[in-house]
Copies of this chain bind each other. A is one copy, B any other.
C-alpha cells in the first residue's frame, strides 16, 4: 500500500535504521544524509504505519474512553472535550459505549485492552471489590470520572454532595417546605455504580437535616417516575419543590407539570442538576446546579496522560460548582 521505510532506504542507498534515525529525529546521523532522506520521504509522501510502530514500541498513542451513551447531553459534551484535549497531546480516542450494561462494560474494557490502548478513561457502571481487582489486574493506567470506584484510581468529578446540599439550601431559602426527590437510578443501588447519584442523595439529606431544619423528602426511584409523581398531591398547605438528580428528569417533570397546568415556580418548585446546554431554550427557566462538565473531560485526559508520560497520577481536586 503505502511507501515504507524500506523503500526509502533503498532509494537513498542507506539502511532502514538510518531512515528511522532521520525520520524520528534520533541522534547519530549525518545532517546531509538526513536532509536527503527527508527530501525523499516528502517526495514520496511517506506516511508512517501507526500499527507497525505501535507493535514495535508497545505504545499506541490511543486512549480508551468508556461512557454510557451519547444521548445524555452531558456525555456528549464530555466526549467532545475529551476528544479535543487528547488530540492536542497527540493521543487519539477509542470510544466505547456500554449502554449502562455491566457485562457489556467488562467486555468493552477487555476489548480496549486487546487493542492495546495506553490508558483508559472510565465512567463506570460496574463497582465493588471484585471489579476493582479486575481493573487492577489489567495493569493499565486508568482514570475514573463521575462514578468513583476506589482510591486506587484517580477520580475526576465535582463534589456532588456539597453541590446538592447547596441546591437544597437554595430551595429551602425560597420557602418550599415539602420536598419530592426524583432519582430513578437509586433503584439500582447495590447493583450498579451509581456513586454520583448516591452522593447527590447524601447531599440532599444533609441539606434537609441541619440548621434546625428537618424535612423528610419523598423519594421517587421508579423508572416511570412521572407515573409515580402523578400519584402525589402536589398542591397543599405546604409548598412543594421537586428536586431531580439531573436535568433530564427535571425536563420530563416540567413537561408533566405543564400539562397539569401547574405554574413553576409558584405552584410547584422544580430544580435540576447539570445545567445541560439546552436549558437556555427552556421556559420557564429551570433552576439547576452548574459545573464545568467539559473540564471533567479535559482534566481526565491530562491526568491520564500525565500518568502515562510522567509515571504518576496527579491528584486532582474535586471541581467546583455553583
Contact = CB atoms under 8 A, between A and B. Distances in A.
B96 A83 contact: yes
A79 B83 contact: no
Given A51-B55, A70-B80, A281-B282, 15 more contacts: A47-B110, A47-B113, A50-B114, A52-B55, A70-B79, A71-B80, A71-B277, A73-B73, A75-B76, A76-B76, A80-B97, A83-B97, A87-B96, A92-B94, A283-B283
A315 interface: no
13 contacts: A49-B114, A50-B115, A51-B54, A51-B116, A70-B76, A71-B77, A76-B76, A84-B97, A87-B97, A251-B281, A252-B281, A255-B281, A283-B283
A46 B280 CA distance: 51
Contact of A83 (B77, B95, B281): B95
A254 B71 CA distance: 23
Given A76-B76, A80-B70, A255 B280 contact: yes
Chain copies in the assembly? 2
Contacts of A77: 70-71
Nearest to A108: B87
A274 to B, nearest CB: 13
A21 to B, nearest CB: 20
Interface string A52-88: 1011001010000000011101011101100110010
A93 B76 CA distance: 16
Interface in A2-56: 47-52, 54-55
Interface string A237-276: 0000000000000011011001000000000000000000
Interface residues of A, number: 48
A111 interface: yes
A108 B25 CA distance: 23
Interface of A: 1, 47-52, 54-55, 58, 60, 69-71, 73, 75-77, 79-80, 83-84, 87, 92-97, 99, 110-111, 113-116, 139, 251-252, 254-255, 258, 277-278, 280-283
A106 to B, nearest CB: 13
Nearest to A281: B251
Nearest to A250: B281
Contacts of A79: 70, 76
Nearest to A248: B281
A242 to B, nearest CB: 15
In the A-B complex, list the 3 residue pairs whose CB atoms are closest, starting with the nearest: A76-B76, A70-B80, A70-B76
